[in-house]
Amino acid sequence: MSKEGNNLSEVDILEAPNILEYPYSRSTGPVIGEFMTKLRDGKIVGARTKSGKVIVPPTEYDPFTSEDIDGLVPVSTSGVITSWAWVVSPSEKHPLSEPFAWALIKLDGADSSMLHCVRAPSSTSVATGKRVKAKFRSQREGHIKDIEFFEIEEAANG
């Protein structure tokens, strides 16, 4: 018991672990489902809007007009970094255990960027405008993590 009247001391505070879980199962539907299926094949597809823009990762509707999309189209597995952040000390939940970059990546053929991680030796090798390529896992299951990471593309001509 506390020795200081009504004030709680450290030892009086009860603690219990609480594991946060929201174990919902979700259906992916015709657009996200197709994107995931293609990931399993080592490919990436985007949604083409009626105005001809390609949204990656795809949504079922045009994010600006809310119209239905005009189908799915393949895009490249390479692209360019449009923004990034360098994680100095990854958490146990992060996709990579070594220091890495989060990046928004605009794949060739796409008009929007997707978020994923980039493996690089240091923050100095990452920059907006740098070209990166998706590295797929050998065992794929139709999941965003079928892309293990993106890596910096070697410049073709210096």
* Among the listed residues 4, 5, 11, 22, the single contact to other proteins using CB under 8 A: 22
Whether 35 contacts 58, CB under 8 Å: yes
Q: Which residues pair with 102 in a beta bridge?
A: 85, 117
CA 63 to the chain's CA centroid = 18
The DSSP secondary-structure symbol of 117 reads E
- Site membership for other proteins, residue 145 (CB under 8 A): yes
Residue 50, classified by CB atoms within 10 Å of its CB into exposed (0-12), middle (13-18) or buried (19+), is exposed
Q: What minimum distance in Å lies between the beta carbon of 19 and other proteins?
A: 8
Residue 73 contacts other proteins per CB under 8 A: no
Cα distance from N-terminal residue to C-terminal residue, the chain = 71
Please identify, among the stretches 69-77, 81-89, 131-139, 150-158, the one whose residues bind other proteins according to the rule CB under 8 A.
81-89
Q: Given the rule CB under 8 A, which of 68-76, 78-86, 131-139, 150-158 is the region that contacts other proteins?
A: 78-86
Write out the residues near other proteins by the rule CB under 8 A.
Answer: 8, 13, 18-20, 22, 24, 26, 28, 32, 36, 55-57, 59, 63-64, 82-88, 91, 93-95, 102-104, 106, 112-117, 123, 128, 143-145
